Structure 1
Amino acid sequence: MAEPIVSLATSRIHRALSRPHHLMGADRELVLLTGLATVILVFVVLTWFSVALGIAIWIGVVGALRMMAKADPMMRQIYLRHIRYKPSYRPTASPWRRT
């Protein structure tokens, strides 16, 4: 008796669910934080020099953030996880291993 042919079930994965959240091609939170910092700089100092400096900082930092996002879209999360790691781990397989 021949076995029936079973087809595999397929599911669509929408691009919006698997893509990182970016704004202007860079990490959303970092772009918004940079924008907030430059706006604070401009409105606290209130000179033409501060406006020019704020625009220059905004363009430079967003350009650097875009290069960072192009290299690795999840770089900020990976760096934050790297910071949380302990400075050194013991070379044991388990914390309950006898030394």
Structure 2
Amino acid sequence: MTPHIPALQKNRIHRALSRPNLLMGADRELVLLTGLAAIILIFVVLTVYSVVIGIAIWLAIIGLLRRMAKADPMMRRIYLRHMRYRSHYRATSTPWRTV
């Protein structure tokens, strides 16, 4: 007799749980941070030129952030993790090994 192999169970993965959290096509936190910086620039200086410059800078940065998110939506988190890594790891099996 051959043993009975049960069929694999299928579970649905909803798109909302696996999509990156983007705003205007870019990383949500970076868009909000640059928008806040542009608004601060506009309201601190309070001239027509500061409004034009603030909006122009914000739109340029949003374009760059969208290109970054198109290449990799998790690029900011990956870069921050990369910066936390040590630049040099010793070739030992454990950190408590005596040399």
Give me the TM-score of the superposition, normalised by structure 2.
0.92
Which residue of structure 1 aligns with residue 23 of structure 2?
23
Identity of paired residues, percent?
67
**Residue equivalent to 1:55:** 55
Give, in whole Å, the separation in 2 of the partners of 1:37 and 1:51.
12
What is the Cα deviation at residue 18 of structure 1?
0.8
Q: 2:91 corresponds to which letter in structure 1? A: P
Number of residues paired by the alignment? 99
Aligned to 1:92: 92
RMSD of Structure 2 on Structure 1 (CA): 1.3
Q: Indicate the SS of the match to 2:4.
A: coil
Q: Which amino acid aligns with 2:75?
A: M
Query: In the aligned structure 2, how far is the partner of 1:79 from the partner of 1:2?
Result: 52
Q: Which residue of 1 aligns with 2:40?
A: 40
Where structure 1 has 5 or more consecutive residues not aligned to the other structure, the ranges are none
| One-letter identity of the residue aligned with 1:18 | S
Specify every segment of 5 or more residues in structure 2 that has no aligned partner in the other structure, as ranges.
none
TM-score where L is the length of structure 1: 0.92
Q: Secondary structure at the match of 1:76?
A: helix
User: How far is 1:98 from its partner?
Assistant: 4.6
